[in-house]
Amino acid sequence: MMLDTTLPADPFSQRLARIRQLIEQGQLHEAAVQLNAAQKDAPADARIPLIGMRMADAAGNVKGAIQLARHALHLAPGWPVAQIELAQLLVRGDSAGQEGMTREALELARQARAADPDHAQLTIGAINVAHAAHDDALALQWAQEALERHPRQGGLHLFTGRLLVTLGREAQALPHLRQAHDLAPNQSEPLLALLQCARALGDEDAARNWADRALALAPEDGEVRYWHAIAHGQTPATQPAAVVRALFDYYPADYDRHVAGNLRYRAPERMATLLRERFPDRRLSVLDLGCGTGFVGACLGRVEGHIIGVDLSQPMLDQAARRGVYSRFHHVNLLDALVETPGDHYEAITCADALPYVGDLTPVIPNALRVLKSGGWFLFTGEAAQPDEGDPSAGYVLRATNRYAHRAQAVERQLRDAGFVNITIEPLPELRREGDMPLAGFLAVGQKPVEQPVAA
């Protein structure tokens, strides 16, 4: 979240506002030209490096953005806006030195709150820092203190309610979510939060009521339609981008430590081993779907080709870029990436723990075959659906965790029907941990048939 501060109406401030608008429109080159000219005219204006920070962040250069935010604070020590902007960048920092960066971010957030406690946006920024740092107790404390000053701030009620739901305190969350809805009756976000709170409370009738009201308000919204289907006992074919992005934008900084350490996730290592066995000369290009923070690339290492990362979460891609092994990234849905990639393009496609957010694999498997070169390999993992889960005839089931599990036999059949050969479905008794228990999964591997040369 970038703080939306209003600039004064003097000509130079309005000049900076136009540069900010260029950044928001993605016109980074023109913004850089104009910002350099502004910097020459006012080298001591702290707003200039802060706008440069936004431009660097938009370009995916988080390290450069942090440096510029520090320069803004050097020019204007104690400026709360710069403190919050820097804190938000630091809390997204890489895993190396994360503990120190998190401490600094929280201290900056505390200073900003103390400097201007009545500034609602600064307070919300500080709360977001605490939340991103996984200090939910502090985030909740700050939110409750802020609500005493700003009792009609709907965003604060919505955040507080959502946080209380994640902490298992749904009964306390409900009044905040109702207040958020009352303050913004024409917005779907509070209605979706009320729906999820009702589901957590086991009140399915209330969940359906909130779902119906949200759908009436936003019938074309994919996220609303997804939750509406779930509230009415249906199984959507896949998750909307907004649902997946919200999940993974939250914690990329300590994602590696959490997944590889706490959850004992080892599938990318196994994938890298299989690829090295098939390509001992390391001459291959890989499309890594749902690359996250780049586990597969880190395990595989540099190749005589390219590793291209695809993910919906920009903070995840920022982390993956620090691996130094990916050639480039696409900030898109993996389904769209497959559809839009030309045929016969890669020697390998990997998809590690991303398909639990895609139910129906019908658009995935045939497109993967098309995108692979002759003899190329598709490797992906999934959560293994158990025989007694859901409809036994269905190829997938949506679990209470809001992730899909797939039936290995159905996956094997889909690979074969699409035209893959040399198919293996390797059981993974512990794909990762779930609630301190092993979660069963599988690793599926299939090869595109090798084209035989046409006789002269």
CATH number of the domain that residue 397 is part of: 3.40.50.150
Residue 454 has pLDDT above 70, yes or no: no
Whether residue 289 is contained in a domain is answered as yes
Would residue 200 count as lying in a domain?
yes
Share of the chain above pLDDT 90, in %: 71
Shared domain check, 302 and 422: yes
Residues 419 and 294 in one domain: yes
- Give domain status of residue 311, yes or no: yes
Band (370; pLDDT cuts 50, 70, 90): very high
Inter-residue contact 309 to 329 (CB < 8 Å)? yes
Question: Does 425 lie in the same domain as 345?
Answer: yes
Does residue 89 lie in a domain region?
Answer: no
Assign 2 to helix, strand or coil.
coil
Which of 403, 410, 390, 398 has its CA nearest to residue 432?
Answer: 403
Same domain? 171 vs 252: no
The reply to whether 266 falls in a domain is yes
* Residue 186: pLDDT over 90: yes
pLDDT in tens, 9-33: 788 999 999 999 999 888 999 999 9
**Of 200, 234, 268, the domain-final residue:** 234
254, HSE (Cβ side, Cα atoms, 13 Å): 17
Residue 383: its H or E element: strand 372-384
Q: Does 119 reside within a domain?
A: no
Q: Is the domain of 259 the same as that of 155? A: no
Pairing label, strands 404-406, 396-398: antiparallel
Check whether residue 288 and residue 411 sit in a common domain. Answer: yes
Question: Over 80: is that where the pLDDT of 336 sits?
Answer: yes
Same-domain check for residues 222 and 278: no
Residues 209 and 261 in one domain: no
- CA 164 → CA 127, 159, 160, 174, distances in Å? 14, 9, 6, 9
Q: How many CA atoms lie within 13 A of 170 on its CB side?
A: 12
Residue 184 and residue 290 in one domain: no
Name the pTM for this structure: 0.80
Is it the case that residue 260 has pLDDT exceeding 60? no
* pLDDT value at residue 262: 54
Q: Are residues 261 and 205 in the same domain?
A: no
Q: What's the pLDDT tens digit per position in 108-131?
A: 999 999 999 888 888 889 998 998
The 10s digit of each residue's pLDDT in 238-253 is: 999 888 887 776 655 5
Same domain, 188 and 297: no
The per-residue pLDDT for range 396-434, each reduced to its tens digit, is 999 988 899 999 999 999 999 999 999 999 999 988 888
Domain interval for residue 190? 151-234
Whether residue 416 sits in one domain with residue 276: yes
Q: Which of 77, 125, 79, 76 is nearest to 105 (CA)?
A: 125
Q: Where would I find the beta strands (DSSP E) of 295-371?
A: 307-310, 328-330, 346-351
Number of domains in the chain: 2
**Is 456 inside any structural domain?**
no
Residue after which a domain boundary falls, among 209, 234, 259: 234
Q: pLDDT tens-digit profile of 48-62?
A: 999 999 999 887 788
Helix, strand or coil, per DSSP, at residue 306: coil
Q: Quick check: is 107 in a domain? A: no
